[in-house]
Amino acid sequence: MELSTLTIQEIHQLLITKKISSVELTQSMLNRIHDVDSKVKSYVTVTDEVALEQAKRADERIAKNESVTPLTGIPFAMKDCISTRNVKTTCSSKILENYVPQYNATVTNKLADAGAVLVGKTNMDEFGMGSSCENSAFFNTRNPWNLNHVPGGSSGGSAAAMSASLASFTIGEDTGGSVRMPAGFCNVTGIKPTYGRVSRYGLISLVSSFDCIGPMTRDVYDCATVLEHIAGHDEKDSTTYQSPVPNYTQHINKPINKLKLGIPKEYFVAGMEAGVESALQESIRQFEKLGMEIHEVSLPHTKYGLPVYYLLLFAEASSNLARFDGTRFGLSKSDNAKDVIDIYLQTRREGFDDEVKRRIMLGAYALSAGYYDAYYLKAQKVRTLLRRDFETALASCDLLLAPTCPTTAFKLGEKTNDPLAMYLSDIYVVATNPAGVPAMALPCGFSNDMPVGMQLIGKHLDEQTLFQVGHAYQQVTDWHKKLPNL
């Protein structure tokens, strides 16, 4: 039996009926990573020792039938921007290449408490800045569906690892599509929860007001299972919601007929790859067959989503990344430094790659005297309008449907010389983050043999509806079951 391709739900059954042990499962996953990941290059660090130790403890829990959860004994991988105590956390940046955190992120603790088994940390665009994983300072991750193509970004490693069956689930982080866009490119399911649903404590910040940690999984049911375990209030992150986390999986089979699905007309315009558009149209018909009501809606400020997102990202990132200064942790360059400023200048010059340099400089520009009103403040005002767009559309509908990207995964190197062209690939995913609403990506077809993704966008804190609708869709389609040949 090929264990690596099973869902969490299927593995859980095998574990609790003692057909397999977590140690066996974990060892076979680690073997597969050591065999196959040289092609995909999704992992920055593989944590063999930690994994086998956690698997052993999971087996003890299962043997004693003590606090066994659906995640107990399940091997997973974590995006390398989420802190793991005593395990390197690099953000795929030279400035953190050898950084070993002394503490865990809340998400790391929650997954450890649930008994999940960490098999490694996955590659990403440096500090989450990119849409193809090509901005990793270490190496390019490849799309398991075609190794000459990118996996998307910034959670490209987590998407590729999930797609290549190199973990039973992965954790990504979505600042402006970084879970959904690579999920679409690699044929996996992934959710950006409502802002504030999952604690950001221990996540290395990119844009504090956009960042959302979310799972990437084989199917919607697994996605709901993982979110149940990582969501919730955290006193260490005051932006987390106090409201209890619903039992998403318990209600996942609730009927979806009569639910209203909004199709934003601004998302279906010229420029979309023909195969992407036809896959999306086919899914709309599928939802109609499932008894949903389809309505056209308008998100009038859509075209401004990209500049709003990037301007606010530049500004917040330039401030957040000020902490990497070579004095307290991380890379430190102090050759003949005559004062502390010299350490800053040298460390940041050597430690950051070009995209990070571009963005923090543009952030300082957008925030500087004379430009603050024209750029930063203007973007925050248009952000208010973007948010109202979603509120209005979601007042008349239960959820919205959109593509995750205008194209399928592009070739490695295709957009690296043109930063603006790379930014434009995020056009469908960025607007949800300034608005804070939840959105889930799921496979919906193929175009020229490459996967196509769609996203379901919901109301604040209404992940439940996204899971119900996505689950119903996956009961009548099998796109999510298609796996790449490696």
Q: Is 239 in the site for other proteins (CB under 8 A)?
A: yes
Active-site residue 318, yes or no?
no
Cα–Cα distance for residue pair 40/486, rounded to 1 Å: 9
Burial of 407 (0-12, 13-18, 19+ CB in 10 A): middle
Q: Is 420 in the site for other proteins (CB under 8 A)?
A: yes
Active-site residue 155, yes or no?
no
Which one of 178, 205, 318, 425 is the catalytic residue? 178
Q: Which stretch binds other proteins (CB under 8 A): 183-191, 221-229, 277-285, 356-364?
A: 356-364
Q: Is 357 in the site for other proteins (CB under 8 A)?
A: yes
Binding to other proteins (CB under 8 A) within 288-307 occurs at: 301, 303-304, 307
| Nearest-approach distance from CB 23 to other proteins, in angstroms | 31
Which one of 41, 79, 94, 192 is the catalytic residue? 79
Using the rule CB under 8 A, which residue among 17, 38, 238, 485 binds other proteins? 238
Residue with Cβ nearer other proteins (220 or 308): 308
Q: Is 209 in the site for other proteins (CB under 8 A)?
A: yes
Which one of 83, 131, 154, 318 is the catalytic residue? 154
**Which residues share a beta bridge with 38?**
none
Number of residues that bind other proteins (CB under 8 A): 70
Residue with Cβ nearer other proteins (76 or 375): 375
Active-site residue 178, yes or no?
yes
Look at residues 226, 81, 77, 51 and name the one whose alpha carbon lies nearest to residue 164. Answer: 77
For residue 389, the number of C-alpha atoms closer than 13 Å in the C-beta half-sphere is 25
Q: Please report, as a single letter, which amino acid is at residue 237.
A: D
Q: Is 352 in the site for other proteins (CB under 8 A)?
A: yes
Look at residues 140, 157, 4, 151 and name the one whose alpha carbon lies nearest to residue 79. Answer: 157
Q: Is 337 in the site for other proteins (CB under 8 A)?
A: yes
**Site string (362-401) toward other proteins, x via CB under 8 A:** xxxx--x------x-xxxxxxxxx-x--------------
Q: Which stretch binds other proteins (CB under 8 A): 265-273, 355-363, 404-412, 449-457?
A: 355-363
Q: Is 323 in the site for other proteins (CB under 8 A)?
A: no
**Site string (152-191) toward other proteins, x via CB under 8 A:** ----------------------------------------
Q: Is 338 in the site for other proteins (CB under 8 A)?
A: yes
Q: Is 94 in the site for other proteins (CB under 8 A)?
A: no
Q: Is 64 in the site for other proteins (CB under 8 A)?
A: no
Q: Is 416 in the site for other proteins (CB under 8 A)?
A: no
Q: Which stretch binds other proteins (CB under 8 A): 30-38, 94-102, 181-189, 468-476?
A: 94-102
**Site string (241-270) toward other proteins, x via CB under 8 A:** x-----------------------------
What per-residue string of b and e applies to 460-486 under the rule 16 or more CB within 10 Å gives b? Answer: bbbbbbbbbbbbbbbeebebbeebbeb
Place of tokens 């970004």: 153
Look at residues 404, 415, 407 and name the one whose alpha carbon lies nearest to residue 448. Answer: 407
Q: Is the dihedral of CA 256, 257, 259, 265 positive or negative?
A: positive
Q: Is 438 in the site for other proteins (CB under 8 A)?
A: no
| Nearest-approach distance from CB 51 to other proteins, in angstroms | 24
Look at residues 248, 279, 221, 252 and name the one whose alpha carbon lies nearest to residue 404. Answer: 279
Q: Which stretch binds other proteins (CB under 8 A): 147-155, 159-167, 284-292, 328-336?
A: 328-336
Residue with Cβ nearer other proteins (171 or 435): 435
Using the rule CB under 8 A, which residue among 38, 102, 257, 485 binds other proteins? 102
For residue 112, the number of C-alpha atoms closer than 13 Å in the C-beta half-sphere is 14
Footprint on this chain of other proteins (rule: CB under 8 A): 99-100, 102-103, 194-196, 209, 235, 238-239, 241, 301, 303-304, 307-308, 310-311, 318, 321-322, 325-330, 332, 334, 337-346, 348-349, 352, 357-358, 360-365, 368, 375, 377-385, 387, 419-420, 423, 434-436, 460
Give the catalytic positions in this structure.
79, 154, 178
